[in-house]
Chain A
Amino acid sequence: MAVTEAPARAPVAKSKKAYSNEDHGRLAAMLLTPTMAVLLIVIGYPILAAMYQSLFTTNQGVDESGFVQEGEKFTGLDNYTAIFSGAAGERFWNAFYNTTFFTVVCVVIEVIIGVMMALIMNKAFTGKGLIRASILVPWAIPTVVSALLWRWIFDANGVANNIINQQILWSTDGWQAKAAVIIADTWKTAPFIGLLVLAGLQVIPAEVYEAAKIDGASAISQFRHITLPLVKPALLVAVLFRILDNLRMFDLPYVLVGAQKPSVETVSILAFLENNNARFGSAAAFAVLLFLYIVVVAYAFVRLLGADVIGDARVKTPKAAKRRPNRSIARGDTP
């Protein structure tokens, strides 16, 4: 029970007294190095390269003697200032707003649907296996293909309009394009959250629910006081990774709606378009700005929900879960 108090700061917990410090260090090196090596070699270099690249501008036009200029020159923070100035600035802030908007809306909807799916899948009933397998399918479809599929569905003459009997031009700019992206993203990734929460639900011992039932806790208070606290670590990790993914959203709006559509343009799309025009410095600057934004969001998320995300809350939650249903017996009795 040493873990209950101030987990992050305590360098030595009691279970480690069996091993010497040196032994401990060697073990750490042995177990952590593979991860660090793979990440640093494969992703570390490209990130640093992009940061470096963002300080350079590709030469354009001709020099004094009439030769076409080639190569790149160092321009410091010019790429960054260019992003924020004039019309480009408006475009950036619009993309920034879209990125944030999609992230917030999609993650909220996906969490609600995903948790509902997990609760349904966790119950024993006929056809459970079929449901598990079928909700996995959307997620197993490559994003590019699902974007193509939804473009097909949201075609002016497509199935969506056919079903609701309306003539909505989904892929034209405006709220409908945003809605199409949100629907497609939810369809694809709510199962991600559903499956993660399901895995979290599996670890909850059945006795906890039996005890709560004997105490007369209603289904809703069981969910609030037992299920939610116990699946929270798994759920928060799922949400964290969904946020990171959605902030980098690219292929879905790009393939489903298309380029040059302000209502669905995200920062990732801007970076991609700059890369396509061989303006690598400017593209890298967009990517670095997005990166900084994501770092801030992720840091805030981990800080605010710290213990739950990192998994230190484990000792506290079961106690809280045991304590609270008692309080809610009165409420639980009324159906």
Chain B
Amino acid sequence: MTAVTTATSVPRPRQPGRSNRRRFLLPLGGLAVVAVFLGPYIVMLLDALRASKDVLRTPTTFWPRDWQFTTFNTVLSDTRFLNWLKTSVLVATTSTLIVVLVAVPAAYFTARHKFPGRIPFLFLVLVTQMFAPTSLVVGLYRQFFELSLVNTYLAIILTNSAFNLAFAVWILHGFFSAIPDEVEEAAHLDGCGRLGTLWRIMLPLTRPGLVTAVIFTFIAAWNEYVVALTLMQDDAKKPLTVGINSYVTGYEQNWDQLFAAAIIAIVPVVILFAVIEKHLVGGLTAGSIK
């Protein structure tokens, strides 16, 4: 039956048939992508909702035998968890702010001024992304120990900022480079100062790049583990990534609580994304020069 319909549809004008197919295929394809990428996440959710006694029972079943909705409450009323959450929010937010404030001027300058040291500068920035963090940590610890910054928020905020600066500089550099020189020249002619141009013309134009840099930095800082593990020994000041591991140790295995905590830990990231996602869309460059 289907073969017949496709055969007959060939002589028909292509346009309507194609757009019809597209209307179905795109959401379907999107749905498939969602299924694949959310699948493991659903496994996690189901395990968080499974009765604690069933979590480690074999053979495993996909659907919980007994539902247990209290696990989320247990986690959320745990003061340790709330402390970790607070640290993560503080560290990720501050690091992101620092990265944006520091990276934007550097990226702007390297993109708009073709000075001789430009490529060495970009490569030097990149070099900081080439050393295994697990080994960097030894030197970081010594350094922050000398500065008596071990166990402080400042230490992990600084480290996270430094770790993500390279990516922010590179990606913003790409976006600044993509803006035609004429735009900036027009702003100069209109009497816009250099910082005024950056603030009023260039930043709005590179908003997708800026949003990308913010999301990436926030997520990377949110997920940082190795450095926080070494530099934060005070349990109350640990970030989520480090703290969350104490749900599953050699002594107790609360997988359901671990998964519930992991799910809650994603919420701030999703909120951030929902708030700034619209700026990712809609490059304004489209109409800026004619």
Contact = CB atoms under 8 A, between A and B. Distances in A.
B280 A199 contact: yes
A28 B121 CA distance: 12
A250 B134 contact: yes
A42 B161 contact: yes
B283 A45 contact: no
B60 A159 contact: yes
B136 A46 contact: yes
Given A32-B106, A134-B38, A286 B135 contact: yes
A8 interface: yes
Nearest to B136: A46
A304 B14 CA distance: 42
Given A120-B26, A138-B41, A248 B133 contact: yes
Given A39-B125, A130-B34, A145 B208 contact: no
Interface string B112-133: 1111101101111111111111
A145 B60 contact: no
B105 A31 contact: yes
A128 B47 CA distance: 28
Interface string A132-144: 1111111111111
Given A13-B114, A28-B109, A294-B130, A142 B60 contact: no
A32 B118 CA distance: 11
Interface size class of A (residues with CB under 8 A): 35 or more
Contact of B244 (A36, A145, A150, A204): A145
Given A47-B136, A286-B135, A141 B194 contact: no
Contact of A234 (B123, B158, B174): B174
Contact of A10 (B98, B114, B170, B184): B114
A85 interface: no
A198 B212 CA distance: 10
B130 A7 contact: no
B150 to A, nearest CB: 14
A65 B248 CA distance: 46
A206 to B, nearest CB: 7
Given A198-B280, A250-B134, A46 B266 contact: no
Contacts of A30: 105
B250 interface: no
Contacts, number: 316
A157 B169 contact: no
B246 to A, nearest CB: 12
Q: Main secondary structure on chain A at its contact with chain B? A: helix
Interface string B56-72: 00111010000000000
A86 interface: no
A241 B109 contact: no
Contacts of B259: 149
A298 B125 CA distance: 12
B51 interface: no
A97 interface: no
Given A28-B113, A35-B103, A158-B60, A138 B138 contact: no
A42 B159 contact: yes
Given A47-B136, A125-B26, A280-B138, A140 B38 contact: no
A295 interface: yes
A291 B34 contact: no
Contacts of A20: none
A131 B27 CA distance: 9
Given A133-B270, A135-B37, A149-B40, A271 B209 contact: no
A39 B162 contact: yes
Contacts of B277: 129, 132-133
11 contacts: A3-B114, A28-B113, A31-B106, A49-B143, A133-B274, A143-B225, A145-B265, A198-B280, A241-B129, A268-B135, A287-B131
10 residue pairs, one from A and one from B, having the closest CB atoms: A46-B139, A287-B135, A311-B177, A42-B162, A49-B139, A31-B105, A140-B269, A203-B283, A35-B106, A31-B109
Interface of B: 14, 23, 26-27, 29-31, 33-34, 36-38, 40-41, 43-44, 47, 58-60, 62, 98, 101-103, 105-106, 108-116, 118-119, 121-140, 142-143, 158-159, 161-163, 165-167, 169-171, 173-175, 177-178, 181, 184-185, 188, 194, 208-209, 211-212, 215-216, 219, 222-223, 225-226, 240-241, 244-245, 248, 255, 258-259, 262, 265-266, 269-270, 273-274, 277, 280-283, 285-286
Given A49-B139, A310-B118, 4 more contacts: A35-B106, A145-B262, A199-B212, A287-B132
